[in-house]
Amino acid sequence: MIRGSCLCGKVKFEISGEPSSLSYCHCSRCRKAAGIFSAVLIGKADDLRVTEGLDQIAKLLPGPDGKHERCFCKDCGTSLGDLVTGDIYVVAASALDDDPGIRPSIHIHTASKPDWYEISDDLKKFEGDYIPEN
Ligand SMILES: [Zn+2]
Ligand SMILES: [Zn+2]
């Protein structure tokens, strides 16, 4: 079980099962919501359960595809990621309290990163989204 929460503690969630990926997302939405970029944990939607504070979650700004709503705690503003979008969860790894077990493997949406930020590791980079095969 991987637990997560917002800064003020009103929103709590749990993830069961194995996440499928952990990526650094450099899209403009992550940049503005989370600082410079977000580490995003992705897995099966059914594995994510909000255990406390479901009514505390503000959903803002669906993406251009009408999906990928940004979720925040209404009180403390903690960026929670998209939470459930379609059949996957996309959780901001910054909100995790436990080690998800996997490590970041890729950078995505690098075309949107600011010029002043240099990626200085050797992880694979994708200018846009990365959709896993399965
Ligand atoms: Zn909060
Ligand atoms: Zn992003």
Distance separating alpha carbons of residues 93 and 15, to the nearest angstrom: 12
Provide the domain limits for residue 25: 2-119
> How far is the centre of ligand 2, averaged over its atoms, from the C-alpha of 56 (Å)?
22
Q: Which ligand is nearest to the CA of 75?
A: 1
Q: Which distant-in-sequence residues (6+ apart) come within 8 Å of 60 by Cβ?
A: 69, 70, 71, 72
Domain annotation covers residue 91: yes
Cα-to-centroid distance, 39 and ligand 2 (Å): 9
Q: Tell me the ligand closest to 4's alpha carbon.
A: 1
Categorize the per-residue pLDDT at 2 as very low, low, confident or very high, splitting at 50, 70 and 90.
very high
pTM for the full predicted model:
0.90
- What ligand has the least distance to the C-alpha of 92? 2
| Residue-wise pLDDT tens digits, 51-98 | 999 999 998 867 666 667 889 999 999 999 999 888 999 999 999 999
Residue 104 counted as domain residue: yes
Residue 20 lies in a domain: yes
Q: Does residue 33 lie within any of the structural domains? A: yes
Residue 42, domain member (yes or no):
yes
Burial class from Cβ neighbours inside 10 Å (0-12, 13-18, 19+) for residue 15 reads buried
Distances in Å between the Cα of 107 and the Cα atoms of 15, 82, 98, 120 are 23, 17, 22, 11
Residue 131 in any domain: the answer is no
User: What residues pack around ion ligand 1 (CB closer than 5 A)?
Assistant: 6, 8, 10, 73, 75-76
* Predicted pLDDT of residue 64: 65
Asked whether residue 10 is domain-assigned, the answer is yes
Residue 126 belongs to a domain? no
The CATH number of whichever domain residue 109 belongs to comes to 2.170.150.70
Q: What is the pLDDT of residues 11-64, one digit of tens each?
A: 999 999 999 999 999 998 889 888 899 999 999 999 999 999 999 999 886 766
As for how many domains the chain has, the answer is: 1
